[in-house]
Amino acid sequence: MSFFSDKKVMVTGGAGFLGRRLVGKLKQRGCGDIFVPRSANYDLVRMEGVEQAFADSDPQIVIHLAAVCGGIQDNSKRPGTHFYSNLMMGVQAMEVARQRGAEKFVALGTVCAYPKFAPVPFDEDDLWDGYPEETNAAYGLAKKMYLVQSQAYRQQYGFNSIFLLPANLYGPGDDFNPETSHVIPALIKKCFDAMEQGAEFIEVWGTGKATREFLYVDDAAEGILLATEFYNRSDPINLGCDSEISIKDLVELIEDLTGFPGEIRWDPSKPDGQPRRSVSAKRAKAEFGFESTTKLEDGLKKTIELYRKTRQG
């Protein structure tokens, strides 16, 4: 019998980009009691909304994915919103889960929690050795408080909670809104917009020198469920794919895969963000056997193909 088949599971953010994949995988594992609190009915930034969601679902396992997040532009515009909303959602959800005697709480952190100049690849033991990169520090630090809370609650109450740090996610169905999107969907949209408009170039923020690691969304969902089932300590755990690419190389790859024939114009007056970003996935493999299986180019092809079909209606 599957670990999840007789469990009542709440997935906050379960209707989102990552959440939809995770809920689908839960169903494949035989979980028949999945509760997804929708924002229209439950304001998880407010304690009343959190308490109502728990009262309506009485979950044994809580997987907290709900977040207010975006790329460099959105992080720079709304740091206060990112800090307050993410902090309150996670802290209150974990507290109510503890009060109600939930069996396990899974908190999703962010690679943005790492120090700006942490050694690459990021090792979990380096998480506190410096301040995060400024453009996403508010978001990263709010999420990092889940780790503090998880460890404090385990120490004082014996509460079983875990904290996961995924690399940057991407995949089909990502957020392509230019106001809030991350780098991959933003670049894909720019290429298609330029081709549609007959533009000869696209403009990209920064210098292209920064590096990133990108984890395919289905792989991330699989890692979260493996950790939910098999990992029961509050030491932080990275989810990654042991691959690092410069933004310059990423732009050229997306340009090639979308078929955009034009020029790339860099705007160095705009921020690069963190200089390098890649995580060590050794602990996840050792603790619960997680390994990413999707190569970046393959994942990009799937992402671009769905976006192409969506644009065509």
Q: Give the residue numbers marked as catalytic.
A: 139
Q: How far apart are CA 93 and CA 64, in angstroms?
A: 8
Q: How far apart are CA 173 and CA 191, in angstroms?
A: 17
Q: How far apart are CA 234 and CA 85, in angstroms?
A: 23
Q: How far apart are CA 215 and CA 245, in angstroms?
A: 12
* 3-class DSSP assignment, residue 190: helix
- Amino acid identity at 23: V
| Lookup: tokens for 229 | 């089932």
Euclidean distance between the first and the last CA atom of the chain, given in angstroms as a whole number: 41
Q: What are phi and psi of 206, to 5 degrees?
A: 85, -160
Q: Is the dihedral of CA 249, 250, 252, 256 positive or negative?
A: positive
Q: Is the dihedral of CA 218, 292, 146, 211 positive or negative?
A: negative
Return the closest-CA partner of residue 146 out of 210, 191, 92: 92
Q: How far apart are CA 21 and CA 108, in angstroms?
A: 15
